[in-house]
Amino acid sequence: MIEFNSIFPTLNDIPEKFRLDFPIKQSTYLLDGEIKTWEGNYREVYSPVYVENNNEFNNYIGSYPLMGKDDALKALSAAKNAYNAGKGEWPSMTIEDRIDRIKKFVLLMKEQKESVVNLLMWEIGKSYADSTKEFDRTIDYINDTIEALKNLDRDSSRFTITDGIIAQIRRAPLGVVLCMGPYNYPLNETFATLIPALIMGNSIIFKPPKMGVLLHSPLLKAFQEAFPKGVVNTVYGHGKEVITPIMESGEINVLAFIGSSKVADTLKQQHPKPHRLKSVLGLEAKNPAIILEDADIDQTVKECALGALSYNGQRCTALKILFVHENISKEFVQKLSAEVENLSIGMPWDENVKITPLPEQGKSEYLTDLVNDAKSYGAELVNPNGGKFNKSFFFPAVINNVNSNMKIYHEEQFGPVIPVITYKDINEPLEYVVNSDYGQQASIFGKNPENIATLVDTLVNQVCRVNVNSQCQRGPDSFPFTGRKDSAEATLSITDALRVFSIRTLFAAKENDTNKKIIRDIVKDDKSNFLSTDFIL
């Protein structure tokens, strides 16, 4: 019997290692190389984890600066000055020197691991194991980015001569990049754009997501110490107050945003010269699993539960709708329901915990509405505890007999609700994919190579990754990660990100004696950082 009423801990229930001295007031921000003290209003931070004291539940854990237009424009001006039309210290630094700065940042960042992981757990309710994984994955991502940049630079460290023209082709920065990550991976997905943007020589304005702000505060000093002034600047507050003026200035060269397509469209339209704006967007998805008649039911159930419910289903890559062949659907749904009922629930620090409280305000109510809406159109709520909730904690719900009249068929639930549809004809899930607004990934479960091949060939032209007998996911980070339709713009992977945040630019000269001498002199005496045959070892 699951005790929802007593799911939240008292202070004494929390292991000492994870008790923080709340509330944490983040009164600092990074502007133009200085860690400044904030004098204005604050925004309060509430945790998905409530702490009980004599039947009172408290989840207030801190606050951070609530900035306005003037503060945002100061950050923009600092970033612009640091770039200085490409003549700034950072964009004109050699790649090797930039790599050294990033390495310094990694060392400083690692010192903050415990604080960052702890705040990840408290701010967004991610389990200790997954929070640690997020931190470590981010460190690996940065180190792999350094190696990828070395390779890119090595490939560009030579001249080519074509049709009588001597050329050297390299990648150059784009200018000022606005980086905005999502709450579900506030560290990893923010740094997956911020670090490549930075290492390519751009200046950064960094706005953390609404949930997942405090965890960045231990890193402000690392940014300050590792990079020249103005290269990284932080802004906090309501998007309308701080992001709109930055976008309307027309001074942003790249928008790196992970969130909803609606917000992305609004931000892009605020730029007065949209053709000058490069957008790198990770948006919504509704990745389907297509479970064929010959699928291994036990393995498929396990993989689908994992794919639908890792971090409570709050992943853009989560499996958000399951299509099961009618001949196996009864057994599949029964087993899926049992699997879900057995998941261990609790607080982020509980060992092996799989389902934890949700950070978005009103999320349990939203998910309840989705379940009730589906029931009103004839769906069945299958698992006994499905949909029970207590404040921010919502027990995963498996809903069967879903159809297109229901909200859950169309909306990205981004939470622990698993809609299941029984199909007769394979064209039913395929039509779903074609008609969907989203086009990120799909998973196929089955054994027959011929059937799988046919489906793969159809789906690769609708989504950007087709997984076989495996859940949808972003990793490994060396693989391209993108989507069609409302799911993404531009491609991210370790190497792709370096390209996305830079542009190819070249030196070119007619092959004659005068030009050859000029080139020889420049290269021999290391007169230019661009025109160089130095090979990074």
**Closer residue to ligand G3H, CB minimum distance, 339 or 412:** 412
Least CB distance from residue 159 to ligand G3H, whole Å?
Answer: 39
Least CB distance from residue 466 to ligand G3H, whole Å?
Answer: 15
Of the candidate spans 16-24, 143-151, 338-346, 467-475, the one that interacts with ligand G3H by CB under 6 A turns out to be 467-475
- Sorted by sequence, the CB contacts under 8 Å of residue 477 that are 6+ apart come out as 137, 140, 141, 144, 192, 493, 494
**Of 112, 184, 233, 443, the one binding ligand G3H by CB under 6 A:** 184
Of the candidate spans 170-178, 265-273, 348-356, 470-478, the one that interacts with ligand G3H by CB under 6 A turns out to be 470-478
Query: What is the amino acid identity at position 325?
Result: H
Least CB distance from residue 234 to ligand G3H, whole Å?
Answer: 22
Strand partners, 439: 484
Distance CA 370, CA 205 (A): 37
**Closer residue to ligand G3H, CB minimum distance, 58 or 132:** 132
Asked whether the beta carbons of 441 and 475 are under 8 A apart, the reply is no
Least CB distance from residue 258 to ligand G3H, whole Å?
Answer: 8
217 belongs to the binding site for ligand G3H (CB under 6 A)? no
**Of 473, 493, 502, 532, the one binding ligand G3H by CB under 6 A:** 473
316 belongs to the binding site for ligand G3H (CB under 6 A)? yes
Least CB distance from residue 184 to ligand G3H, whole Å?
Answer: 5
315 belongs to the binding site for ligand G3H (CB under 6 A)? yes
**Closer residue to ligand G3H, CB minimum distance, 270 or 312:** 312
**Closer residue to ligand G3H, CB minimum distance, 183 or 206:** 183
The dihedral region occupied by 529, where left means phi > 0, alpha psi between -120 and 50, and beta the remainder, is alpha
Q: 475 — phi, psi (to 5°)?
A: -75, 170
Of the candidate spans 329-337, 347-355, 459-467, 468-476, the one that interacts with ligand G3H by CB under 6 A turns out to be 468-476
- Sorted by sequence, the CB contacts under 8 Å of residue 389 that are 6+ apart come out as 4, 364, 367, 368, 395
Neighbour count for residue 228 (Cβ, 10 Å): 14
392 belongs to the binding site for ligand G3H (CB under 6 A)? no
**Of 15, 274, 449, 475, the one binding ligand G3H by CB under 6 A:** 475
126 belongs to the binding site for ligand G3H (CB under 6 A)? no
Least CB distance from residue 218 to ligand G3H, whole Å?
Answer: 23
Total residues found in the chain within this entry: 537
- Sorted by sequence, the CB contacts under 8 Å of residue 402 that are 6+ apart come out as 321, 374, 379, 408, 409, 419, 420, 421
Of the candidate spans 52-60, 155-163, 423-431, 469-477, the one that interacts with ligand G3H by CB under 6 A turns out to be 469-477
**How many residues bind ligand G3H, per CB under 6 A?**
9
Rounded to 5°, angle at Cα 293 from 289 and 411: 25
Rounded to 5°, angle at Cα 395 from 389 and 399: 110
Q: Where are the alpha helices (DSSP H) in 462-512?
A: 494-500
474 belongs to the binding site for ligand G3H (CB under 6 A)? yes
Least CB distance from residue 285 to ligand G3H, whole Å?
Answer: 8
Is residue 238 classed as helix, strand or coil in its secondary structure?
A: coil
Least CB distance from residue 117 to ligand G3H, whole Å?
Answer: 17
Of the candidate spans 78-86, 150-158, 272-280, 311-319, the one that interacts with ligand G3H by CB under 6 A turns out to be 311-319
317 belongs to the binding site for ligand G3H (CB under 6 A)? yes
Least CB distance from residue 201 to ligand G3H, whole Å?
Answer: 25
Least CB distance from residue 318 to ligand G3H, whole Å?
Answer: 8
Distance CA 403, CA 400 (A): 9
Is residue 98 classed as helix, strand or coil in its secondary structure?
A: helix
Asked whether the beta carbons of 195 and 145 are under 8 A apart, the reply is yes
Strands 319-325 and 254-258: unpaired
**Of 50, 64, 185, 323, the one binding ligand G3H by CB under 6 A:** 185
Rounded to 5°, angle at Cα 222 from 216 and 228: 120
Distance CA 277, CA 142 (A): 25
Q: Sign of dihedral through CA atoms 26, 29, 33, 37?
A: negative
**Closer residue to ligand G3H, CB minimum distance, 364 or 493:** 493
Asked whether the beta carbons of 216 and 236 are under 8 A apart, the reply is no
**Chain positions contacting ligand G3H, by CB under 6 A:** 184-185, 189, 315-317, 473-475
